[in-house]
Structure 1
Amino acid sequence: MSHPHHHRHHSLGHRLSHLLKPHSHDTADKVDSALESSARGMRALWVSLAVLGATALLQAVVVVLSGSVALLGDTAHNTADALTAVPLGIAFVLGRRAANRRFTYGYGRAEDLAGLVIVLTIAVSAVLAGWVAVDRLLDPRPVEHVPAVAVAALVGFAGNEWVARYRIRIGREIGSAALVADGLHARTDGFTSLAVLLGAGGAALGWELADPVVGLAITAAILLVLRDAAREVFRRVLDAVDPALVDRAEQALLEVPGVRGVGELRLRWIGHRLRAEVAVVVDDETTVRRAHAVAVAAEHALLHAVPRLTAALVHADPAPAPGEADPHEALAHHVGT
């Protein structure tokens, strides 16, 4: 008898939470939320673009004065990182557009295309940095204005670390994996900027090869970032989600009154928002109206349990009865085709 009492207590607390913190799952409210998150993402992109652009410009001036290929590699990487704001910005703008009869899920997947552009941009910066470093190894030249190179390296680290923290914070708040990945990318760039200090120190000690060797090390660091970024982007393109989210969704469904089991459960990212499709098992004697009410309650539970979930399509299946044919038998010959 303790379970019903607990359920009544939970329902009362749930109603109070609705009164104290009203919310809605109406379509208009979902659109407003998506627009707000996209606007915050855009703001993060343009602010970080300005900071990284100024950092790269200062470093470029020092590159011209000093001839440091290590700093050139770092500048190329910072420039590429700044320019990733452009495809992401376009994706956020497209993501605001409403779904239509051709793009029935909307334009959120533009964020995945932006991720592919970002991966390509990182790859180009790696090729540029590596080519210049190898060229300088074959034809060593002294680095001039070593103190200026050291200062530019410190400025690069400070700019990237600030941008990294800003992008990661906003990306996590709005649910944009692309923005979080871009923030982690910026953080790695900051450490490559510090590596330039080693090259400057070696040049100050008279070791001419220190600068191109550090340039090659930075190229290797860029390739590591490229690997991680490509893995994240291709996972998103292939509709990968964190298995913990699936477990969380399944647990929430099993706690819904009237749900006897969970069948097929699918989650997918569309931009920085999630959608779900799920089949729940209800009592075989349940009326259509009651089964619909259970499905609505299941969707409501998912919207509360899974962060950044905007919609869930819930299908109610009757529990199997002894001697009864499979209710999906008519679809069997379509499976696997």
Structure 2
Amino acid sequence: MRDHAHDHGGGHDHLPKNERAIGIAAILTGTFMLAEVAGGLISGSLALLADAGHMLTDFASLMLAWLAFRLARRPADAARTYGYDRFSVLAAFVNGMTLFVIAAWICWEAVQRLREPVEVMGGLMLGVAVAGLLVNIAAFYVLTRDESENLNVRAAALHVAGDLLGSVAAIVASLVILWTGWMPIDPILSVLVALIILRSAWAVVRESGHILLEGAPRGFDQEEVVRALREDVAGVTGIEHLHAWQVTQERPMVTLEVETEAGCDRDRVRDEVKALLNERFGLGHATVEIR
């Protein structure tokens, strides 16, 4: 006879707060994006156009992230026994990949501008860039004020951070143009922002990809878990088929088979194993099979 223990607590209390933050950031980003596009076209600034293009994808990414939270609120069903939580991880992965595309476009356009310099209206560029900086600071604050560990929120915050850096670069470029008339500063600073974006994008893609590939939770040490269970739970003689993964960053899972001494209390062993996994390793959802 085999005993199974399941804990299907969804842990969605964080969703409304994160969802609201994403929604506010989307409204701020989408509204200002139109002004930045107009400013970039009129002034001729690549830095502004690059930032506007980034804000366009940010708006789409934020809306995708918002949709992910909406879907995550739906209950699990027979076809999706874990619910829709992982859609937020998929959204984070897509958002990270779009950052690579944006950075590549900025670099390509910068090379063209260096070959054939374009006259930039520094005054208009400066005004739009300062306004963009204020909007991005507001959006970034909304997304980071609660220090959310949600990967989807982090991906959205990185998008906005890239915009914020783009606004700073545009301000610096506009000031250089106003003071010196040196136009190459515009594409040069655009490339610098693109490289910073790439570094952040790689972190999001790597982590979300790890979750999608059923990788173990961050810091999980299989040998340490096995040693703790054998040493600290009376009656345990062996651990087999130990697997740990994450539905989302906040929902780590573990399954394992526990071999026990003959005649020991299986219910006690099961309860102590689950308690140890939760308290010491943060694995609150455990499926434990006793043999």
What TM-score bracket applies, with the shorter chain setting the length? 0.7 to 0.9
Q: Does 1:285 align with 2:263?
A: yes
The residue number in structure 2 matching 1:68 is: 45
- Point out which structure has higher relative CO (alpha carbons under 8 A, 6+ apart): 2
Once residues 155 and 226 of structure 2 are traced to their aligned partners in structure 1, the CA distance between those partners, rounded to angstroms, is: 27
Contiguous gaps of at least 5 residues in structure 1: 1-24, 318-337
The residue number in structure 2 matching 1:157 is: 133
Q: Which residue, out of 294, 313, 335, partners 2:287?
A: 313
Cα deviation code 1:90-139 (max 9, x no counterpart): 22222223333322332222223212321342233224323432332233
Once residues 46 and 181 of structure 1 are traced to their aligned partners in structure 2, the CA distance between those partners, rounded to angstroms, is: 14
Cα deviation code 1:227-278 (max 9, x no counterpart): 3332222222112344424478668755455545655433221134222213
- Alpha carbons of 1:279 and 1:26: their partners in 2 closer, same or farther (altered >3 Å)? closer
User: Contact (CA 8 Å) 1:96, 1:107: kept in 2 or not?
Assistant: yes
- Alpha carbons of 1:283 and 1:161: their partners in 2 closer, same or farther (altered >3 Å)? farther
Q: Does 1:51 align with 2:25?
A: no
TM-score w.r.t. the length of structure 1 is 0.71
The residue number in structure 1 matching 2:205 is: 230
Once residues 96 and 313 of structure 1 are traced to their aligned partners in structure 2, the CA distance between those partners, rounded to angstroms, is: 23
User: Contact (CA 8 Å) 1:40, 1:170: kept in 2 or not?
Assistant: no
The residue number in structure 1 matching 2:123 is: 147
1:247-258 equivalence runs, <5 A: 253=229, 255-256=232-233, 258=235
Q: Does 1:203 align with 2:177?
A: yes
Once residues 113 and 61 of structure 1 are traced to their aligned partners in structure 2, the CA distance between those partners, rounded to angstroms, is: 32
- Alpha carbons of 1:274 and 1:171: their partners in 2 closer, same or farther (altered >3 Å)? farther
Cα deviation code 1:287-311 (max 9, x no counterpart): xxx212321332244344455x552
Q: Does 1:124 align with 2:101?
A: yes
| C-alpha displacement of 1:43 | 1.0
The residue number in structure 1 matching 2:3 is: none
| C-alpha displacement of 1:183 | 1.8
The residue number in structure 2 matching 1:177 is: 151
User: Contact (CA 8 Å) 2:40, 2:49: kept in 1 or not?
Assistant: yes
Once residues 26 and 39 of structure 2 are traced to their aligned partners in structure 1, the CA distance between those partners, rounded to angstroms, is: 20
Q: Does 1:269 align with 2:246?
A: yes
Q: Does 1:41 align with 2:18?
A: yes
Residue range with higher mean Cα deviation, 100-109 or 245-254: 245-254
Q: What is the letter of the counterpart of residue 130 of structure 1?
A: C
Of all paired residues, the percent bearing the same amino acid is 26
Q: Does 1:82 align with 2:59?
A: yes
- Alpha carbons of 1:198 and 1:240: their partners in 2 closer, same or farther (altered >3 Å)? same
Number of residues of Structure 1 aligned to a counterpart in Structure 2: 282
TM-score w.r.t. the length of structure 2 is 0.81
Secondary structure in 2 aligned to 1:63?
helix
Once residues 246 and 169 of structure 2 are traced to their aligned partners in structure 1, the CA distance between those partners, rounded to angstroms, is: 36
Supply the RMSD in Å over aligned alpha carbons. 3.0
